[in-house]
Amino acid sequence: MLMALCFPLGGLAAPPRLPYRVLVVHTFSPAVLYTAAQLKGIRGALEESLGGAPLILLEESLSLSDNPNSDQARIIRDLLELRYAGEQIDLVITTDTAALGLIVAPEWRFLPGVPIVFSAAFAVPDAARAPGALVTGVTEQIDGEGTIALARRLFPATRRLVLLGRSGQHSDRLEASVRAAAGACDPPLACDTISGLGEPELHARLAALPQEAAVVYLSYFPEFAWRQVDSSVLPALTQASSRPVFALFDVYLGSGVLGGRVASGFEYGKRAGQMAGAILAGTPIDSIPIEEGPNPAIFDARALDRWNIPRSALPPDAIIRFQPPPFWEAHRTAFIVGAALLGVGLPLTSAFALLWRRASRANLMLRGSEERFRALSENVPGALFTWVSAPDDQRTGEQMSPYLDTLIGPRNAALVRERYNAIFELIHPADLPRVREVGAAARAAPRVFDCEYRIRTDAGDYRWVRGVSAPIPLGDGRIRWHGMLLDISGAKQAEQSLRDSEARLRALTDSVPGAVYQSIRHADGSRTLTFASKAYERVMGRAPVFARQPPDEVRLPYHPGDAPRLREAFASTSAPGPVDVDVRVLNYDQSYRWIKIRANPTPLPDGDVLWDGVILDIDRAKRTDLMLEGFAEVLRRAALDEPIDSAMGGLALALERNIDDCRAIISTFDAESSTLSALAAPGFSPGALAAMQRMPVPDGAGCCGDAIAQRALIVAHDVTTHPSEQALIPFLRDQGIAALWSQPVFAPGGAIIGTLAVCHPRPHTPTETERAVAAQAAHLAGIVFARLRNEQNLRTSEERFRLMAESVEDVFWLHEAPTGRMLFISPSFEAIWGRPPATLFPDCSAFVDFIHPDDRDQTIRIIRGSFTGFDTEYRILRPDGTIRWIHDRARPIRGRDGRVEYVAGIAQDITLRKRYEDELREFGLAQRLLLEELDHRVKNSLAGLLSLITLTAGSKPTVPEFAAAISTRVRAMSAAHSLLSRGQWRPVDLRELLLALVPDDAAPRFAVRGPTVPVPARQVTALGMVFQELITNAQKHGALTGPRGTIAVEWGYDPAPERAPALVIDWSESGGPAPDPSPIPGVGESLLRGLVTFELAGQITLSYPPLGARHCLRAALDHDAPQNGVHPAILRAAPARLHEPAAQPAPQPAPQPAPQPA
C-alpha cells in the first residue's frame, strides 16, 4: 500500500509535465468512417511518437461546406476564438480541405504562431504554402490510374469502365480523375456513368454487364464516399453486379468491393500524426515538407475468392483484409486451456501451503502499511485516497485521508466516503466533461490520471483542486487507483492575477503606435520571439512565430537586398548596441512594405541577449521620401536642359525604385496621328523599345490606348484575360509581362500628352499606395512634358522656378488673366489648405468656397481688382474644421502690349503670427493694469507714511524724539516692503516677518513657536508695524530693558465653527521690571489698536501682570485678496508665459513645535 502511494507523493516535489494539447478540427462528424479512421491513425501515431507523454486531443466538428462564405467563416472563427481564448494549444490538425481552408486563412486564423498539420486535404490553399505559414501535412490523392491498372492486371479483357456516381462536387471530382486516367490508357478505355436509378433498375443494369466491363464505385448514394454506407445497400449492389466492383476509398472494403489503389483515412491520419509528433518533439516544421498521401493496393479476401483471383496475381505491395484465421489461430485458446489444466494439477497442493504462509505475512504487512498510511495522510497537505474502478464505470472507495473533510467540508466528505461516485456531483458542471475525458483516457491506457478542476465545498463555493492518481490493474478488469487531491486555489488565483497583469500589459502595448516585441538572441545564434503586441501581424504582414529559429536564418521574408543588413545589425553578441534600421518585409499579398525596427539590447548572464523593440510602419513615409528623391532627380535633369527622354528615363527609374518588382514605360501621344510611342523604358531592351513605337490608339496600344480613350486609369490584373491586350499577348509573353496598368498623362491645360504604364511579371492588383505614387508620377510627367516641349530657355527658367516653388513653405500660384484658369499652384497648398491642388484645376472657382464666410465678401472684392495687384489677409476653413490665417499677395504680369496676361501671387500661412499679435495685445493690457496697480500701492504707502508722521509729531515735543520715533516705524515699513519685494509680492511667512524686525542683539532673547502662516501681501506692512510697536515697547518699558528679560511669541489658528479660522498671536514677556498695571495709553497703543482693527480685521488685548506684559492678538488674514498681491485683472489679461508661479495655499494648523530661540 505504501509503495503504491509513492507516485502521487513524489508528484509534490516534481509534478508531471503539462500534457500536450492538440486541437483536431474537421467538418464531418467523428462517426463518419473516413474521419473516424483518420482520428484513429492520428491518436495512435501521436501516442507512439511521444513515447507515453501526457496528451490531450481536443476535437472540433464544424458544420461547414467545402467552400464556406465569409459570413460562415467569420462566425465559426469567432466561436473558436471565444472557446479557446486563454487556453494553451500546442498544435492544430485538420482532417479535410474545408477545415484547413478555415484555419490557415490569414483573416480567419485564430491561433497565430501555432503549427498546423493537415490530413487528407485534396486542395492546399496558397496561404498554407506561403513562407512562414507554419503548415505541413498530407494531401489526399485519388489514384484513378492505379485502380484502373489493377483492374486490367486482374481482368485483362477489361475494355470498358462503368462509373457509379451522382451529381455533386465530390463525385464530379472523382469522375474527372477516373475519366482522365481511362483516356490515358493504351488503348483508351470507354467510360459509362450510371446515376439516378433506383435499386431494382440499378441491380438489373449491373447484372447485365458484359465481360469486358469493370465497375468503379464513386459516390452513388446520397451519402458522400467518406460517410457511412448502409450495410444492406452496397453489399446488395456488389452482389448483383456481374463484374467486379473497384473503389477509390478503403471505407467501402467489407461491403463486397474487390479493392483498388485506395485513399486510406487511417494511413493519412497515421502519417499526419507522425508529423505532429515530430513537431511536438522539437523538429522545426519548416524541415517537414508537405507530402502526397499514400494509395496502397488493398483487397477484400472474400471478394478475391468470389472472383477466383489467386494471391500470386496481386501486386507485391498488396494488402489483404478480412482473411479467415488459420486453424491454430482459430483454436489457440482451447489448446492453451487444455495444456494449462494438465500442467497445474500436480503442484496444486504444495502451492496452497506456500500461498497460505505468504498470505499470513502479507496480512501483517498490510496492517502495518495501513497504519503508516493513516499517519502519513494526517501530515500530508492533501487528501490521499484509494479507490477501485470497475469496467462498468462504478467506483468503490477504499481509503480516504481526514484532510478530505478540510478540503470539501465534512458533509461532502461523508457523502463521498459513503458513495464514491458522488464526487462527480460535486465537480463544477463546466469541468465535468474534461474530467471524464481525461479519466476515460487514463483508464483505457491505463496511465496516470492528472487533471485540474473545481469542486464544491459545504459552503456552496468552489475550490480548485488537482487530482493525481496512479493505476494498478487487478487482472479482473478492475483498476485500483492511488492518488491525492491537492488544493491549488491559491495557485489559480496567482495565475489569474498574472493573466490580468499580462492583459493590462498587452492593452498598454496595443495602444502604442506600431508593434511592440521582445525577443532573445541565444548564444548559439538562434532566436526566440517571446512577446508580440496585437499590431505585430498588421505591421509585419505575418503572424508572430514564437518557436525558436535556427542560427543565421531569417524566418520572415525580408527583401533580399535588406536581409543581410538586418542580420548584421542584430549579429553582435559581445557588445551589442541599439538598432535602428529600415527594411522591407513581404506581405501576404506578395508585395513589400517598409518598416522601421528600433530595438535596445540587454545582455543576460547566460550569454543570451534580450532585445526590446518597436516596429513602425513607415511604408508611406519611406516611399514618399524615395518618390521625392526620384522626382527631385527628374526636375534636376529638366532644369539642366537634358533631353526629354533622359528626364523621363529618370522618372521611370524613380517609379521602379518606389514600386517593388515592376518596370515602367512612359510614352508620348501624338494627337494628329493618334499614335503612341514609348519614350522611356529603362527596364526593356532597345529592341523592345523599338517595337513600342507609333502604336495606333486605341486598338493597337492595349491598356495604354484605353487609358487615353477613357481618360482614366486602366488596370489589367492578368493580361491573358484582359480583352484589350489579346492582340499583344505574344509580345507581352516575350517581355515577361503578366499584369499591366496604365494612366494617362495630362498637360496642365487638361490635354492628354502621353501615358505612364507599370508592368509586373506576375498577375497583380495595384495597391492604393502604388496608385498614388503612379498618379503623382503621371502628374509630374505631364508638367515636365509640357515644359520640355517649349523653347530651351523658357523650359529651364520654368523648371528652376518650380524647384524653388516646391521647396518653400509658402504657396506660389500662377493665374491666367484672360481665361481665368489656374496654371500652377505649389504643393504646399495641400499642407496649408488641407486640399489637393487638383481641386483648382482647371477651374479655380472652388477657391471662394475655402474662404471663411465672415471674410469671403471682402476678400472677393479685393481679388477682383487683381489686375493692379492686391495685398490682403483672410481666413480659410480646412476640411477638418480648423481655421488658418492667410496673407495673400499678387502682382500682375504684363505682356509687350501692356495688357495683363498673368497674375502671380504668394500665399503665406500667418496663423502663428496672428496668435503672437493677440498675445502681445493681451500683454500690453496687463502692463497697463500693472502700472495702475503700482501707482495705487505707492499712493497707499505714502498715505500711511503721512499718517505716521502726523501721529508721531503730536506726541513728541522735540525734533530728536520725533526723528527717533518716526525712523523706527519707517524702518519697520521698509523691512516689510523688502520682504514683499524679494518674494515678488507673494504672501510672507509670519516667522520670517517677525525675525526680520527683531534687533540683532535681542534675537537670542526671543523664543518663537508656531506653524507656517503665510501673511497676505496686503497685510504684511500692518502686521510688521504691530510687531515693531510691541518690540519698541519691550525695549523701553518691558523685558528688553534688562539683561535677563526674554520674550516668547506663540501663534496658531483658532478654529471657530461659527466663523472662519482666525490667527491668534500670544506675546509674553518675562525677566524684566514689573510693568505698570494701568499705563496711560499713548500714540503707540492708538496706532497698535488702529492697525489691528482696520488692517487686520481683528482685536488686541493688552495686559500688564507683575511678571511681565502679556498681549493677545486675533487677526483675520485676508486670503481672498488678489493673487500674489496683484490685481486679478492683470493676471487674466497677461499671457500665460508671463505669469509668475502661484503662491501656495495656506496650510491647515499643524501641531505646535517646541519653542526655539530666534
Rg (CA), the chain: 49
| Structural domains for the chain | 11-139 (3.40.50.2300), 144-262+296-321 (3.40.50.2300), 378-491 (3.30.450.20), 509-617 (3.30.450.20), 622-794 (3.30.450.40), 808-909 (3.30.450.20), 922-1138 (3.30.565.10)
As a whole number of angstroms, the distance between CA 1075 and CA 1033 comes to 11
Compare 910 and 983 and report the one with higher pLDDT: 910
Among 103, 108, 96, smallest CA distance to 70 is for: 108
Backbone φ and ψ for 758, nearest 5 degrees, come out as -120, 125
113 conformational bin, left if phi > 0, alpha if psi -120 to 50, beta if neither: left
Q: Looking at the predicted structure, is the pLDDT value of residue 137 above 90?
A: yes
Compare 567 and 1039 and report the one with higher pLDDT: 1039
| Of 109-123, 258-272, 757-771, highest mean pLDDT | 258-272
Question: What pLDDT score was predicted for residue 462?
Answer: 92
Q: Looking at the predicted structure, is the pLDDT value of residue 377 above 80?
A: no
As a whole number of angstroms, the distance between CA 812 and CA 800 comes to 14
pLDDT single digits (tens) 851-860: 999 998 888 8
Q: Looking at the predicted structure, is the pLDDT value of residue 739 above 50?
A: yes
Mean per-residue pLDDT, 1151-1156 = 40
As a whole number of angstroms, the distance between CA 719 and CA 734 comes to 13
Q: Looking at the predicted structure, is the pLDDT value of residue 506 above 90?
A: no
Residues across the chain: 1158
pLDDT single digits (tens) 595-614: 888 888 888 877 788 888 88
Q: Looking at the predicted structure, is the pLDDT value of residue 225 above 60?
A: no
As a whole number of angstroms, the distance between CA 13 and CA 486 comes to 13
| Of 304-313, 399-408, 471-480, 639-648, highest mean pLDDT | 304-313
Position 1050 confidence tier, pLDDT thresholds 50, 70, 90: very high
User: Which residues are CB-neighbours of 7 under 8 A, at least 6 positions away?
Assistant: 448, 470, 482
pTM of the predicted model over 0.85: no
Write 390-394 long-range contacts (CB < 8 A, 24+). 390/477, 390/478, 391/477, 391/478, 394/421
Question: Which residue in the block uniquely carries the three cell numbers 484509494?
Answer: 386
| Ranges of H-type helices in 345-408 | 348-377, 403-408
Mean per-residue pLDDT, 86-111 = 81
Question: Which residue in the block uniquely carries the three cell numbers 510688521?
Answer: 1024
pLDDT single digits (tens) 661-712: 789 999 988 888 888 888 888 889 888 888 888 888 877 678 888 888 888 8
Q: Looking at the predicted structure, is the pLDDT value of residue 185 above 80?
A: yes
Mean per-residue pLDDT, 925-937 = 63
Question: What pLDDT score was predicted for residue 147?
Answer: 93
Question: Which residue in the block uniquely carries the three cell numbers 487511417?
Answer: 266
Measure Cα distances from 857 to 833, 874, 889 in Å: 19, 11, 17
Question: What pLDDT score was predicted for residue 42?
Answer: 92
Q: Which three cell numbers mark 138? A: 498530407
Question: Which residue in the block uniquely carries the three cell numbers 487507483?
Answer: 481
Average pLDDT over all residues of the chain: 78
Structural contact between residues 1063 and 1097, judged by C-beta atoms closer than 8 angstroms: no
Q: Looking at the predicted structure, is the pLDDT value of residue 903 above 80?
A: yes
pLDDT single digits (tens) 292-310: 988 899 999 999 999 999 9
Mean per-residue pLDDT, 306-317 = 91
Question: What pLDDT score was predicted for residue 1145?
Answer: 41
As a whole number of angstroms, the distance between CA 220 and CA 534 comes to 49
Measure Cα distances from 445 to 53, 222, 442, 981, 1090 in Å: 12, 38, 6, 93, 104
**Reading across the β-sheet that carries 1099-1103, which strands appear in turn?**
1099-1103, 1110-1115, 1059-1070, 1046-1056, 1006-1009, 1156-1157
Among 848, 868, 867, smallest CA distance to 858 is for: 848
Among 910, 865, 873, smallest CA distance to 891 is for: 865
CB atoms within 10 A of CB 456: 16
Percent of the chain with pLDDT over 70: 78
Question: What pLDDT score was predicted for residue 955?
Answer: 58
Percent of the chain with pLDDT over 90: 16
Query: DSSP string spanning 616-684?
Result: EE-HHHHHHHHHHHHHHHHHHHHHTT--HHHHHHHHHHHHHHHSTT-EEEEEEEETTTTEEEEEE-TTS
Q: Report which residue type is found at 641.
A: D
Q: Which three cell numbers mark 276? A: 505532429
pLDDT single digits (tens) 939-967: 566 656 656 666 565 555 666 666 666 66
Q: Looking at the predicted structure, is the pLDDT value of residue 751 above 50?
A: yes
Torsion angle, alpha carbons of 321, 322, 325, 329, to 10: 80
Question: What pLDDT score was predicted for residue 1?
Answer: 32
Structural contact between residues 886 and 875, judged by C-beta atoms closer than 8 angstroms: yes
- Helix, strand, coil abundance in the chain, percent, nearest 5: 45, 25, 35
Q: Looking at the predicted structure, is the pLDDT value of residue 827 above 70?
A: yes
Structural contact between residues 885 and 832, judged by C-beta atoms closer than 8 angstroms: no
Compare 235 and 552 and report the one with higher pLDDT: 235
Low-confidence winner among 45-59, 335-349, 1076-1090, 1105-1119 (lowest mean pLDDT): 335-349
Mean per-residue pLDDT, 120-126 = 86
Q: Report which residue type is found at 158.
A: T
Q: Looking at the predicted structure, is the pLDDT value of residue 909 above 80?
A: yes
Kindly state the helix (H) or strand (E) to which residue 175 belongs, with its residue range: helix 169-183
Low-confidence winner among 327-331, 663-667, 1029-1033 (lowest mean pLDDT): 327-331
Low-confidence winner among 220-224, 681-685, 772-776, 926-930 (lowest mean pLDDT): 220-224
Mean per-residue pLDDT, 420-442 = 89
Mean per-residue pLDDT, 53-76 = 70
As a whole number of angstroms, the distance between CA 669 and CA 107 comes to 44
pLDDT single digits (tens) 787-801: 666 645 565 666 777
Mean per-residue pLDDT, 57-84 = 69
pLDDT single digits (tens) 441-485: 888 878 888 899 999 999 889 999 988 888 888 777 788 888 888
As a whole number of angstroms, the distance between CA 142 and CA 261 comes to 8
Residue 1050: exposure state from Cβ atoms within 10 A (0-12, 13-18, ≥19): middle
Position 807 confidence tier, pLDDT thresholds 50, 70, 90: confident
Among 618, 617, 624, smallest CA distance to 657 is for: 624
Question: What pLDDT score was predicted for residue 1134?
Answer: 39
Return the bridge partners of 479, or none. Answer: 389, 473
Cα angle 883-886-890, degrees, rounded to a multiple of 5: 155
| Ranges of H-type helices in 660-811 | 686-691, 702-710, 729-734, 768-788, 792-807
As a whole number of angstroms, the distance between CA 138 and CA 267 comes to 10
CB atoms within 10 A of CB 237: 22
